[in-house]
C-alpha cells in the first residue's frame, strides 16, 4: 500500500497531497454556507474545523484509503479545492469526489483535475470502475461528469444521508476501464 500520493501537473494545475498549510485556502470556501451542503458535508465553523478535516484527510492513507489531493493553481500557488478517489473495494472501484472554491467555478478546473485523477485510477491503480455521485440539484457536477464523458446511470433514491440526518436522492455517473481506454484516453483527452 502506498503511503504518499503522487503529484500531477496539468496545464494550469498542480495536484498534490493536501497539506496543513492549505487550511486557510480551504477555510475560505469550506466556511461558505452553500459549498459543503452541496457536497454532503457541514460548513466549517472555524479554522480549527478545517485543520481537523485536513488531519482526517491526511490520515486516510493509514486506513487503507487512497487519500485526498489539493488542487493548486500553478500561477499563484493558491489551493482552490480538493479531489479524491474514495476506494470502496480495493483495486476494483472508487468514487470520484471534488470541491472547488466558488471564486473559481466555471473555469474548467474540476474537469482538468478530474482527468488527471481518473487517468491515475485506471492507469496506475488498475481500477475497473470510477463513479461520481451528486445531489439532483447540483447541475455543476452534472456538467463536469458530462464533459468527462461519464455515463449517466440513473437516480439512486434516498441514496445519501447528509450530516444533519436528511436523506437525499443522488444522481450516479460512471466510467469503466474499457470506456476509458477505448473512447477517452486515446481520443478525447489527448493533447489537452
pLDDT tens per residue, range 126-184: 999 999 999 999 999 999 999 999 999 999 999 998 888 899 999 999 999 999 998 76
As a whole number of angstroms, the distance between CA 115 and CA 117 comes to 6
Q: Does a structural domain hold residue 2?
A: no
Domain count of the fold of the chain: 1
> CA 98, CA 91: separation in Å to the nearest integer?
20
Residue 3 lies in a domain: no
Query: Which pTM does this prediction carry?
Result: 0.92
CA angle, 98 then 100 then 106, to 5°: 115
Give me the CATH number covering residue 62.
3.40.630.30
Domain membership flag for residue 1: no
The domain containing residue 91 runs over which residues?
A: 8-188
Q: Would you state the pLDDT for residue 185?
A: 60
Taking only the tens place, the pLDDT of each residue in 71-127 is 999 999 999 999 999 986 667 999 999 999 999 999 999 999 999 999 999 999 999
Q: What is each CA distance from 68 to 20, 21, 87, 183, in whole angstroms?
A: 12, 14, 11, 27
Residue 56 three-state SS: helix
In a domain, 41, yes or no: yes
Is residue 23 one of the residues assigned to a domain?
Answer: yes
Q: Tell me whether residue 122 is in a domain.
A: yes
Amino acid at each position: 500500500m502506498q503511503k504518499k500520493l503522487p503529484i500531477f501537473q496539468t496545464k494550469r494545475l498542480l495536484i498534490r497531497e493536501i497539506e496543513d498549510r492549505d487550511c486557510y485556502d480551504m477555510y475560505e470556501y469550506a466556511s461558505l454556507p452553500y459549498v459543503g451542503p452541496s457536497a454532503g458535508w457541514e460548513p466549517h465553523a472555524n479554522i480549527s474545523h478545517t485543520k481537523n478535516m485536513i488531519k482526517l484527510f491526511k490520515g486516510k492513507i493509514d486506513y487503507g484509503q487512497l487519500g485526498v489531493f489539493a488542487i493548486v493553481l500553478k500561477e499563484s500557488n493558491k489551493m482552490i479545492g480538493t479531489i479524491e478517489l474514495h476506494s470502496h473495494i480495493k483495486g476494483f472501484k472508487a468514487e470520484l469526489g471534488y470541491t472547488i472554491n466558488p471564486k473559481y467555478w466555471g473555469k474548467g478546473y474540476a474537469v482538468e483535475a478530474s482527468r488527471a485523477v481518473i487517468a491515475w485510477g485506471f492507469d496506475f491503480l488498475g481500477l475497473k470502475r470510477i463513479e461520481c455521485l451528486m445531489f439532483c440539484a447540483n447541475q455543476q457536477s452534472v456538467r463536469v461528469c458530462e464533459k468527462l464523458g461519464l455515463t449517466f446511470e440513473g437516480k439512486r433514491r434516498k441514496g445519501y444521508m447528509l450530516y444533519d440526518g436528511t436523506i437525499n436522492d443522488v444522481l450516479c455517473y460512471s466510467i469503466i476501464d474499457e470506456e476509458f481506454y477505448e473512447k477517452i484516453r486515446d481520443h478525447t483527452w489527448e493533447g489537452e
